[in-house]
Amino acid sequence: MSKTKFILGLFDDPDDMMHGIEKLQKNSIPIYDVYSPMPIHGIEDKLGVKESRLGYAAFCFGCLGACVIFSIVYYTLVHDWPMNIGGKPNFAMPNFVPFTFEWTILFTAFGMTFTFFAATHLFPGRAPRVMDLRATDDRFVIAVDAKGNIPHDDITNLLKEAGAVEVKHNDRKYVSYE
Amino acid sequence: MASHSESIIREPLITGKDITYAKITNDVLNPVENMPNKAWWIGFTVASLGSLLWVVSISYTFWFGLGAWGLNKTVGWAWDITGFVWWVGIGHAGTLISAVLLIFRQNWRNSINRSAEAMTIFAVICAATYIVAHMGRPWLAYFTLPLPNQYALWVNWNSALMMDVFAISTYFSVSLVFWYTGLLPDIASIRDRATGLRRRIYSVLSFGWTGSVKTWQRFETVSLILAGISTPLVLSVHTIVSFDFATSLEPGWHTTIFPPYFVAGAIFSGFAMVQTLLLVTRKVLGLENYITMFHIESMNKIILLTGSIVGVAYITEFFIAWYSGVEYEQYAFINRATGPYWWAYWSMMSCNVISPQLFWSKYLRTNIKFSWFLSIIVNIGMWFERFVIIVTSLHRDYIPSSWAMFYPTWVDVSVFIGSIGLFFTMFLLFIRVLPAVAMAEVKLLLKTSSEQAKKKLIDSGTLKEAEVEYYKESLVKYDSVDMADYEK
């Protein structure tokens, strides 16, 4: 048994990498993940990644924000301490609009972004689980779990054929940051 | 697909030969990973001295109170609110570039959005300092929040000033979230190239970003939705700032044109400030290939458009004052143009309405030195606009016995100059420690909208001759393109 844990195909061109994904899929080799320095459009369909549901979260947070601030304004201005200002109605809805609007936006932005951070496990101080250091610079990396996917040389050849500039057989899953 | 070729008649967004993904990273991170050059140090020294002046004058204000300013009983709002509105307006361009242009799929925003957003954040910080200082007792700033208190009183939700508190705080925090989320992939790029302590710091700041498929997919969803909500937000912010004036009964303020007019003015001044910053930044940081003449010209066109909108608004305002038949309103406007502050009014008119019209000339709007000069003129003009609206409306009260003039004290002047210093200090620190260009987003354009990709298409010889000619003509204006490559 080799000690290889992950096989990484490093591409210098996103189109070549897409080609590499096709080749691996044609040979029924499961892809662990793909790392790239920029978003690649169309890759989700190819890898069967479902559409993000963050939009629904955003909508719910927006509704929550609207309800919260509307309740606060209503409670303070209409219920708890109604003031007679020139005989005008206490429940002056048009005046509530700017506050309701601002907090809808505020809750949407923070709620959605923090949901994104939580779902993707992003938080300050998290150890970066990087497989190759150049994946945030100029390399488009396809990672294949070496376990069960044998022979490794065939995978190497497939990646090379697709145009990989380098194929790495890593003994460790993540690059250690010491 | 990751790439398909773009129509040849569109101007390239990245110029230069042999641009690779690695070269983009190297070029953008050059100022971050190396010691700053002389130009940066000079700028930073001057800006820091400005900040110091700000610290002194703000401290003086807090110690002695608002009496240190030139305010009097009649003119109770002057330089401080002028400065506040000026800075908030400047902030608007950043959000406009990052949000509105994203929704409209204007790819040229990709290389300028990062620094423009940073500018937004710093400008709003400067604006907030005016608000806090204007409170007179900044330690009581929490009075603006609906907190239960011993007076058993709540805040006045009917007040436009209260709306302002919510608008500005939401705007600042949402802009910050938008900006920082966009920074994550680029901070990860710095992290993976750094060593030692730097790596540790950037590692914490990067939140553990890896760039996996799912991360990018969610990132793009988040960016798009943030852009979608920031667009109405940015319009609401200056609308609400204009409510501070429009909901009063002051002649010259009490007009329904204020919200759209303020928003147009905000975008106008904001783009001018982006131009002021980026024309210098691209030169000092050597980013000519990413912030190209196309970007400069596009921004100048927006300045021309919004400047014209502002001009129409000024004239409409004047017309409506006459048409309304309200004596006080009519006098307020005649007084603006011919009263003791005529020079402020005509500075505003010439800087904001007349001078941007020069950008109808292609020669002038593709001239870097002139663009920079005009951006400064617009900044000055927009400052005068706020001064005119605020001081000239107030200084001649309903009762002639309370008519007065406003004279700024050294504290007024120092707070203003100091806030500019503060702004530049923050901006200069930003370009030292964080990438001034969104690398990931620029990399996205490399295979479609770059000069080299288009050159390859031309060399393949499959394009229509006329279209290629048109494209070549559009390249002439670029200062970063060597036309010799296109001659055969």
Domain boundaries, chain B: 1-19+450-488, 21-446
The minimum CA-CA distance between A165 and chain B, rounded to whole Å, is: 14
Q: What is the pLDDT of residue A90?
A: 86
- DSSP single-letter state for residue A127: P
C-alpha to C-alpha distance for A58 and B244, rounded to whole angstroms: 30
Q: What is the pLDDT of residue B1?
A: 40
Q: Map residue B273 onto helix, strand or coil.
A: helix
Interface contact B22-A137, CB threshold 8 A: yes
Choose the closest CB to B217 out of A44, A99, A130. Answer: A44
Contacts of B155 in chain A (CB under 8 A): 76
**pTM value > 0.90:** yes
Question: Total structural domains in chain A?
Answer: 1
The minimum CA-CA distance between A16 and chain B, rounded to whole Å, is: 10
> What are the distances in angstroms from CA B68 to CA B127, B284, B386?
19, 39, 21
Q: List the single residue in A with minimal CA-CA distance to B21.
A: A138
C-alpha to C-alpha distance for A172 and A152, rounded to whole angstroms: 16
Pick the CATH number of B21-446 from 1.10.150.120, 1.20.1630.10, 3.40.50.150, 3.30.2130.10: 1.20.1630.10
- Best interface-test mutation with A: which of B19, B170, B450 has the largest number of A CBs within 10 A? B170
Choose the closest CB to A122 out of B153, B209, B230. Answer: B209
Interface check for B441 against chain A (CB to CB < 8 A): the answer is yes
- DSSP single-letter state for residue B399: S
ipTM score assigned to the predicted complex: 0.92
B103 CB-near residues (< 8 Å, 6+ apart): B224, B227, B228, B231
Size of interface A-B (CB pairs under 8 A): 203
Residues in a beta bridge with A131: none
**Full residue range of the structural domain in which residue A115 is found:** 1-178
The two three-digit tokens of residue B387, written as one number: 């001064």
Cross-sheet strand order for the sheet of A33-35: A33-35, A140-145, A6-11, A166-170
Contacts of A79 in chain B (CB under 8 A): none
The answer to whether residues B112 and B276 touch, using CB atoms and an 8 Å cutoff, is: no
The minimum CA-CA distance between A109 and chain B, rounded to whole Å, is: 6
Choose the closest CB to B177 out of A113, A127, A177. Answer: A113
Interface check for B30 against chain A (CB to CB < 8 A): the answer is no
Q: List the single residue in A with minimal CA-CA distance to B184.
A: A122
Q: Which pLDDT tens digits describe chain A residue by residue (178 residues)?
A: 578 888 888 998 888 888 889 888 888 888 888 999 999 888 888 888 888 899 999 999 999 999 999 999 999 989 988 888 888 888 888 889 999 999 999 999 999 999 999 999 999 988 888 888 888 888 899 988 888 777 888 888 888 888 888 888 888 888 766 4
The two three-digit tokens of residue B460, written as one number: 């393949």
Residue with tokens 């709306």: B163
Please report the sign of the dihedral spanned by the C-alpha atoms of residue A76, residue A79, residue A82, residue A86.
positive
The answer to whether residues B208 and A121 touch, using CB atoms and an 8 Å cutoff, is: yes
Q: What is the pLDDT of residue B15?
A: 87
Choose the closest CB to A37 out of B152, B199, B443. Answer: B443
Q: Which pLDDT tens digits describe chain B residue by residue (488 residues)?
A: 445 677 888 888 888 888 888 889 998 998 888 888 888 999 999 999 999 999 999 999 999 988 999 998 899 888 999 999 999 999 988 888 888 888 888 888 888 989 999 999 999 999 998 988 888 888 888 888 888 877 778 888 888 989 999 999 999 999 999 999 999 999 999 998 888 899 889 999 999 898 899 999 999 999 999 999 999 999 999 999 999 999 988 888 988 899 999 999 999 999 999 999 999 988 888 888 899 999 999 999 999 999 999 999 999 999 999 999 999 999 999 999 999 999 999 999 999 999 999 999 999 999 999 999 999 999 999 999 999 999 999 999 888 899 999 999 999 999 999 999 999 999 999 999 999 999 999 988 888 888 888 888 888 878 888 888 888 888 888 888 887 777 76
